[in-house]
Every structure is written in C-alpha cells, then in structure tokens.
Structure 1
C-alpha cells in the first residue's frame, strides 16, 4: 500500500524516555483540561482519546500546526519543561512535549487509548512481554495514565479519564482515525484484544492485510501490516481535511516532507502522509461519510 515510503523509526534512546518522564513528572501536579466536557460521564474503552507530540523543537512545531490546521495552544509550566495543550477551537485535543536533545532530533505522535483500569493494562502489557516506560500516575483534571511499549514495539499510552471519554466529532482539522502499523499483525491483534473490548474484522479491499478494530457497531482504529522496511511498529494518527492536495502543498511550503502524495489507487486519492519539520509522521484524509 505504502511500499514507496522510506522511513526509519527505531528505538527511542533512554535519554529521550528520561526527559519525557521529567516533563510528565514536572507537570503532574498541574491541572489539565478535561478530556470530556459532557455533563454525563461515559466511557468508550478502546477509543484513542488523546494525542501527544514529542518534539525537539516545540516552537517550530506549534507554528507549523497552527499555520496548517489553525490550532492554538495553552502552556502549562514554564521554560523548557512546559507542556503545551493543543486546542481546536474551544476543545483541547492534544499536547506537545518538548525534547530538546541533539541525539534524537525526530519527533513522534503518541496516542492514548481509553482503558477501564490503567494498572491492570500495564500488568497485562508486562505479562505479554511489553515494557513500561512511565508507571501509572494520576494527573489532576485528566485522570490516571501510563506509557508503555507494546510487545511488538509500538508506543502507546493507557488512560482512564476522570471526566469520561470525549465524544467523537467529525470535523476538519481534528483527529479522524488511528492505525497501528505492525511488524507482527497476529501478535498485535491478540495483544490489543486483551487491552480493550476490541473485535477484529479483516477489510479485504485493502492492498495489505488490514483489520478494523470495533466495539459493537463502533469503529475504533485500524491494524495493518507495516508497509515500511526498517521501521518499528508504530501508531499513525489521521487528521480530517477538506482537500488533501491543498493541505499537502501548504505543509510542504511550511517545511514538511510529503511521504505519500495523494494517489488514485490508494483510497481514491483521499489520503496523504506527511512528516512534520521535526520528523513526526501523520496522515491527512478527506472523509465525508
């Protein structure tokens, strides 16, 4: 499907993990915006409810995404250790974590999935052979969260929100979808079925093995065979746009690399994959259904 892409995303150095934890620990007494603004608390376990960008250049990243998608920001904390909350309109949709190191200049988007019990999910991850990068901790206003590396090598955060899970909103310049690109599709399917109440259905129209992860009638995320050589398993977030061509061109003018241009034989030309100026990949897609 995306076999012409050339990306290498290897292991994250221990220094990166250490600095990431320092930022998270320095902010864990700060009050974070709620994930859900609804008056009633409801959960949709298995839904990816938050995204954090780790980046060596937060200022450049904020300028890039603001110019491309109109996002705004609110900083929690001060100086180099500040955590920057991303807003689309009045809704908080993600965060930016600074990693100002020269040893690992590439950024990456980290996804957070809703689970009923963070501690239990972390123990399950360890039992299945994964690694715990950040032990379960409580974040004021947010809930309980932990960061792990799954047994196939992908980084994922588990979260249990104090305010419940946000209702999915189909809107331009906001999160549309998430895909796990895995080097062990059978292992990933078996693993994530133990994390949340996922049911996997194979989508035969795709050019590579692809599974839709659902809970009841709700589609939550996709799992596909990693189409890129020399890349560890990783989650790829999708952002909804109204025009893939124009957004791709604008991203390139802002310093991004277009990893996959819109192609008629790939989802009818509705998808592009972009690497931001600091190396963090994400996808954009037109979706009007």
Structure 2
C-alpha cells in the first residue's frame, strides 16, 4: 500500500552548496559562530543540522508558526535557527535556480580526512571535499553507497550538548535505505557503532548505537518513490494538530498519521520549499 500522496524529496544537488562553502572560506570578513564551547566531541552522532533552501524568506515563517523557531542572521546567506533561545540548526540560502531543499544532518568526527578515507574504502563518495569554515571547523559532504547524503564536521571548540527532548526540538534521525545490512556495514566502517534492535509492534526496529547510546536508525525505506536518504525527526505534542499547522502554513503532508505506521504517531511532511522531515508524537524516547 502506498501511503504517500506525493513523491518524497529528490536527492539533494550539492553544487550550489559547494559554491556557498567556497564563498564562506574565501570571505575574509565571514566567521561562522562555533556550534559550542564544550571542548568535547560526540563522534559518530548527529550534532547539528543545516537546512539548505532556495526560499529562506518563505520557510522562516513556516517553521516559526509550526514549531516556534526563531532566527539569528549571520550574513545574507546563512542564519542560525534557535528554539527557546538555543541554537538548534542552521539555514543556508541557495540560488533561486537551484533545486536543493534538504535537511542536511551533520555528523561529528575528530578527523575529516580520516573519515573521508574510510568512506571511500567502504564505497562512499565525497561530494564536497574537506573545507575549513572559519569559526566552525572542518566540514565535508559524503554520499553513502546507496545515495544518502550527510556531512561530517570536526568542530573547533567542541560539539553541542544533546538537545532537550521536548516538543519543537529534533529528537531522532534515520537512514532510509534499500539495503539495511549494507547501510549498517558502511556506517560501522566509519565509527565504532554497535547494532541494536527493539520491537515496534510486529516489527523489529534496527538502529546503531555509539558508546551505548542510540545514534540513528537504519530502516528499509517505505516504498520505491523514496530515494535513499537521511530523515530527521521533530518531536511534537499532538501530531494531528501539527499536521494541520503544516498545511495552514503552506507545507505539504506526504503521509498523514496512519494507524498502520507506528500507531498513528508520525507524519511525513515537506516545508513550502520542498525540504522533507518527520514529525512524531512521542510519549517515551528510545533508551
């Protein structure tokens, strides 16, 4: 049964994002804010997310009205996204003729070069080579062997502390893949992940852990309309009420809450420019 009214987001085109990173590195006046000042690394975990979008003026009110997010302008092409006064993501402006509208997850690493070597050896592709962003650290963009795109970052001052598990905040992330075993093997080649699983209804949910804590899920993608992709989750108090807000503010519902999928607690949506994500009503987080 195809639960999707419209196709999922297409794979991101990174050319425009590469140009943006190049502009950041060549501008003598640009200094991106550090993600944190913890002097600690959370290697292998998703520590940040950047929304690359062609329409920041269109999506800013969407996320503000739906989730209560606010913004701090860094320059004409980049803003910090804040929630209840805390930075939780970034927003990078793409040229209007680009088709890139995508939530790009950022994985912590202590050595970008070493991670790129491991990725290449395991069948991954380097889409954007290591780039040093002043004030933030070394970053690169990788495509895993099945096509899911993510970035790796070696922060200059340490990684952010985990976000509060509350409505309006990021709460989880998954790789949606055609071949779960192959994806697990690829990511395990990058870091010291352990495989884990738990029962979700009649199904076994598979995920990877780092240091004994859940890092991200690796699941079979729901249907062939969906490209292999990273998917980011936002926690909500009421999934049906949030779906209504999404539609009222110009977003698109790709999959409405459905009893067949996690007992109706999740919905798959896109913002007005096309970036997709999942909202989930969660009573208890994964332990």
TM-score by length of 1: 0.89
Q: Which residue of 1 aligns with 2:46?
A: 48
1:75 aligns with 2:73: yes
Q: Give the aligned partner of residue 92 of structure 2.
A: 97
Unaligned runs of 5+ in 2: none
Q: Give, in whole Å, the separation in 2 of the partners of 1:282 and 1:137.
A: 27
Report Cα offsets for 1:186-242 as digits up to 9, x if no partner.
111000001122111133436666412112331111010111213321001001111
1:36 is matched with 36
Deviation at 1:134, TM superposition (A): 1.3
In structure 1, distance between residues paired with 2:32 and 2:166 = 23
Deviates most, 28-37 or 164-173: 28-37
Q: Distance in 1 between matches of 2:243 and 2:235?
A: 12
Matches within 5 A, 1:176-255: 176-205=171-200, 210-255=205-250
Structure 1 residues 247-256 or 161-170, which shifts more? 161-170
Cα 1:54–1:44, aligned 2, differ >3 Å: closer, same or farther? same
CA deviations over 1:87-136 (Å, ceiling 9, x no partner): 113221111122234462x6211101112211111122222222212111
Q: Offset of 1:18 from its aligned partner? A: 2.4
Q: Contact between 1:21 and 1:134, CA under 8 Å: does it hold in 2?
A: yes
Identify the residue that residue 20 of structure 2 maps to in structure 1: 23
Normalising to structure 2: TM-score of the pair? Answer: 0.89
Q: Secondary structure at the match of 2:31?
A: coil
Quick check: 1:4 aligned with 2:3? yes
Q: 2:278 aligned with 1:283, yes or no? A: yes
The change in CA–CA distance for 1:116 and 1:251 in structure 2 (over 3 A counts) is same
The within-5 A match list for 1:268-279 is 268-279=263-274
**What is the distance in 1 between the residues matched to 2:48 and 2:89?**
6
Find the counterpart in structure 1 of residue 145 from structure 2: 151
Is the deviation greater in 208-217 or in 254-263?
Answer: 208-217
* Mapped partners of 1:273, 1:264: distance in 2: 14
Per the alignment, residue 112 of structure 2 pairs with: 118
Deviation at 1:159, TM superposition (A): 1.0
Aligned to 1:134, the other structure's residue is in SS state strand
Supply the distance in 2 between the matched residues of 1:43 and 1:3 (Cα, whole angstroms): 41
Pair 22,162 (structure 1): closer, same or farther in 2 beyond 3 Å = same
Residue correspondence of structure 1 range 128-147 to structure 2 within 5 A: 128-147=122-141
Cα distance, 1:264 vs. partner? 3.0
Contact 2:234–2:279 (Cα < 8 Å) also in 1 = yes
Q: Is the 8 A contact 1:7 1:228 kept in 2?
A: no
Decide whether the 8 Å contact of 1:76 with 1:84 is kept in 2. yes
Deviation of residue 249 (structure 1)?
0.3
